[in-house]
Amino acid sequence: MNCNLLQTDNKTERYLDVLYKRGFMCGISVPTRVAGDSKTCIDHIFVNHKDHEKVRTAVMTTSITDHYTVALDIQFNNIKDKQTTDGTYTDYKHLSTLVNTCDWSRVTDEPELNRATDTFHEMLTECFQQATKQKASTKAKLDKLKPWITEGLVRSIRTRDRLSKRIKKQPFNLALKRHFLIYRNTLNTLLRNTKTNYYRTALNDVGSNPKHFWKFVNELSGRTRNKDAFPLEQYTANRNLTDENDCRTQVADEFNTYFSQVGYNLAKEIDSSGNPVVDDNAHTVDSVFTMTTVTEDELQDFVHSLRSGSAAGYDLLSADFLKTHFKVLCKPLLHIVNTSITTGQFPETFKVAKVIPIYKGAGDISLKSNFRPISLLSTCSKVLEKIVKHQLTLYINQYNILTDCQYGFRETKNFRRTI
């Protein structure tokens, strides 16, 4: 293009505006043709690249023609770099296909409870393993800086930053500086409006839920929860084990032993020598509590009563996935539940929990007593527990077994202090 970039006129400004609006950055800003006292930049290189730090240009003085030689160098990533991974993810579309094509008769045809439950768990685990894929790491990943920032705003922010770097390299490029100022001011206005609209909508959606309200307040005030990793080095420093996995197993066993004995140790400290507050003889019944099997419709009601968004247990089966694929998983799960009810046994696999120690935030971090356990139970075990609780609660309420002084864990019971 026969435009002198060193000269500021209407034609040059329009030419630069057209290119800048489409993401092209100017690579040559020095004279490329010198004739006597005349110096012009009419040999142009404009580049649209996501990472301008990998783009280099040069002007070489030569005598071949009256124009200097211009050169462009772009560094491309090695193809092998794109194959590196930074984690895994679950392909839920593929997972749904695997679950729908499984032969669940292997579970329903098994009369023994624990073998049926183990088969159910093994089939689900195999489906999740096949649906787990490696996540390719890319530098152009659009990570959200804030919850209210969209992917489009992330791109705009990166464009603004690239323009800022270009200005530092070309401090006398007035056209580029003017374009940067307009772009930056427009983006700042858009960021403010987007943030205001996001928090206004979030505040309206909070309603009267105190949990969501304080989450909103902490997010707005910039408070972040402590998500530090477990301090494994505090518990493995003085061990003679050379294998890291053996150290981890030993520490996990010690925490598991401590957490499992907390309730027993507290119970021993309770003085039970006095007279009981409630006389058991005043709440005797002649009937016998008997569990009854459930139908598919009843099982569906219990499954859909699970809280959505809760973390999955060691079996990776979340409540949301169970709800979505209930029609497929209904028969094997119903077989396990009804077999458990008729035999009076709780599946051994359902007793396994994924226990995560969480630091309380105060005290010596090397003491187990300053950690509290978070147990992630199997979603299927929660369904079975809900069924047992429902039938047991109906029986207790029907025969008025509990005293009216019992308020804890009872629905429609509100404690009122009387004076």
Could you give phi then psi for residue 40, rounded to 5 degrees? -130, 160
**Residue 356, SS3?**
strand
Return phi, psi of residue 173, to 5°: -85, 90
The set of residues, in sequence order, having a beta carbon less than 8 Å from that of 223 and lying 6+ positions away, is none
DSSP lists the bridge partners of residue 85 as 136
Dump pLDDT digits (tens) for 298-347. 999 999 999 888 888 888 899 999 999 999 999 999 999 999 999 999 99
pTM value is 0.60
Picking from 329, 327, 328, 308, the residue whose alpha carbon sits closest to that of residue 319 is 308
pLDDT per 10-residue tile (average), the chain, 419 residues: 86 86 83 88 86 82 87 69 54 90 95 96 92 68 67 89 89 88 93 88 78 77 64 74 78 89 88 76 82 95 90 88 93 97 95 89 85 92 95 90 79 58
